[in-house]
Structure 1
């Protein structure tokens, strides 16, 4: 019984210290407008965010980088394929990738690679499946896995699953 009490005391003392550090903290807001359904990826301790849409329906093709050390946002090169809502976004290695998505009237199958060292977007191989937006995705190592998504409306959803390895 004494061992359990000691364990409980240790958990309360040390657990509170550890868990107490995991709190939300307000950081610098994204410049210009609040937005939803945007693209976000991280590279080398920086966060990249862009595209999406505003509450009034306005959509964007701008992109920003957030420096977590200085708590500041800086504008980078615009996304070259125009405005996109709910696109695919991920990072592998030292590059960020954004593609697919919806612009308010059409879907895109294009995929672009962002190189932060040159601030340039380069078109990669287009997605060979049905164009879509709002898909689920994750990376493991140097591979993207992506699936699902919508082609618009309330009855058009995909159940396919894809793998992409950048060249």
Structure 2
């Protein structure tokens, strides 16, 4: 049996048995179900705005076939209900959302259609009362990066993929990058900061104070367990404890002094979808295992509202199959303490 496949099978067996040393089980959090998404959709990057979860675009299913969505919705946990928002100007998947100057913005992604599934975009859109309006452009087309709102309302876009040259229509036209861009409040201009050491796509991340945690992801060679942390004051990256299991296509939420990462998929050495949930503590530089997702998925979105993390959509099978409308909620102890 090849070494990589043997390691994969051994790791998954240890995870199932609860014997993996790096992952102490934490029974103080639990899962519950909530109102399903109005559509089944995956490859989404939602954000939280004014106490609601906002999602836009994605790869959906219509009449049994893949469909690239321009639809947008918001979820209100107070009523456990979804509201349809204005449609995007174009159908997009792998497009990331965050908050800038008090509004939801969307950046990059792929302008998916059957003739150009992987045409990467560099447009930025802002959601206003009248709908989505153009809000400038990224320095280059970008998708599958980590888009976050940091200290002082700055927006950061780290790693992901961009076109390697002039061609921009096939999956093979793109390559992972180390770029780290920042957009200041009140500005539509992007500046460069210290590049992330490890280029990857389909990673996840979030801010704890003035430090940005980025973990997981993949390259053409396979999944990564790499965790790297950016210090805003020093404009410098450092390595941190790796994920206990190399995962990509995940989602995350910031809790207390760290990050909780959900789900994901792997293609090598064997295709699978992960149920795993990991919590990283910045103060201890340590990962612990939380109760697994009731429905294992990749290509999911997540957002924390109060003491709950809503994990939505995604797919229950590797790749484009098994697209889901599931909305499952990780309920944290009062005060948001994830351990």
Q: If each structure's helix is expressed as a fraction of its own residues, which one has the higher value?
A: 1
Partner of 2:20: none
Match of 2:134 among 26, 30, 34: 26
Deviations 1:85-142 (A, max 9, x none): 11121111121111211121132212111111111001111112x2011112112333
**Bigger RCO of structures 1 and 2 (CA < 8 A, at least 6 apart):** 2
Checking the alignment, whether the CA contact within 8 Å between 2:210 and 2:233 is kept in structure 1 is: no
CA contact (8 A) 2:225 2:247 kept: yes
User: What's 1:132 paired with?
Assistant: 247
CA distance in 1, matches of 2:266, 2:217: 9
What's the TM-score once normalised by structure 2's chain length? 0.40
Distance 2:281 2:228 in 1: 13
Residue 41 of structure 1 pairs with residue 148 of structure 2: yes
The aligned length equals 145
Give how far 1:148 is off: 0.5
Give CA-to-partner distance per residue, 1:52-110, whole Å, 9 cap, x none.
113412221111111132221101111112x2011121111121111211121132212
Which structure features the higher share of strand residues? 2
Cα distance in 2 between the residues matched to 1:166 and 1:22: 41
Contact 2:227 2:239 in 1 (8 A): yes
Output aligned runs, 1:49-88, within 5 Å: 49-54=157-162, 55=168, 56-81=173-198, 83-88=199-204
The higher radius of gyration belongs to 1
Consecutive unaligned residues of structure 2, counting only runs of 5 or more, are 1-127, 163-167, 284-339
Considering only aligned residues, what root-mean-square deviation do their CA atoms show, in Å?
2.0
SS at match of 1:40: strand
The CA deviation at 1:22 is: 6.7
Unaligned runs of 5+ in 1: 1-19
Aligned to 1:11: none
The answer as to whether partners of 1:51 and 1:61 remain within 8 angstroms in 2 is yes
Q: TM-score, normalised by structure 1?
A: 0.78
